[in-house]
Amino acid sequence: MIKKEDIRRAIKTFREWDNERKWDIPTETFKHHTLTKSENALKTAEFILRIMEDQKANEFFNAEDYDGTLWIINASYYRIFFLAQYLLALDKKKLPEDAEDTHKTVELALMYYFIIKGSNLENKKDLKWEEIKQSRLSRALELMAQAKEENQELTQQRAKKVVEYMQAERTKRHEFTYSMTVNAELTKAKTSIKRAIEFSDIVKEYIKIKGSKIE
């Protein structure tokens, strides 16, 4: 989640970036490409979920044993990540090529430019998350942080499960373990899609209020 040091880092980093004019200027092509990738990511997540849950789709794709939960969660996160980049692009900001930890940087930029900068929070000392939460966009920030953390956590878990499945196979427990895992992760996957949709709704609402356009 959003930590106190994240708030300090965002303020320090992007004040420096603004002074140094470090942001690149996004082209219309970049905006369109980023928005399209965001839309395709959500469609991918929804398609995979349908394949897993719809019997006809499952049979058509011969996907009886298919577990696409990791890809649903991953695609749902990228819906959020690309849409956050699009929002920054509408504000004439594109990450420079040498930017490090781009995912965290986009998250912090969202917080600084759309919640802190230009508000009565900007010059507050020792700014706390509780104060930032008063903003409507803070919910979008929470959703992005949750999605990123879950995506990273599941990827790490999958690496561990490779070893676990090999061990389970030796004792003939693989089939049961796999079934339990898929059921648990499918619930997470559905939550990820809902999170991505809620993030999208908040961003669209913000853009509409500001008078910009989103396709």
Q: Does pLDDT of 164 surpass 70?
A: no
pLDDT digits (tens, 9 = 90+) for 66-93: 888 888 989 999 999 999 999 999 999 9
Which pLDDT score is estimated for 63?
Answer: 85
For the chain, the first-to-last Cα distance in angstroms comes to: 30
Q: What is the pLDDT of residue 175?
A: 47
pLDDT tens readout for residues 3-48: 889 999 999 999 999 999 999 999 999 999 999 999 999 999 999 9
Residue 24 phi, psi dihedral angles, 5° rounding:
-80, 160
- For residue range 171-183, list pLDDT tens digits in order: 444 444 455 466 7
Q: Where are the domains of the chain?
A: 4-210
- Residue 159 clears pLDDT 70, i.e. is over it: no
DSSP 8-class letter at 114? I
Q: How many CA atoms lie within 13 A of 10 on its CB side?
A: 28
Amino acid at site 136? R
**Whole-angstrom Cα distance, residue 3 to residue 156?**
22
- Residues 38, 84: Cα–Cα separation, whole Å: 9
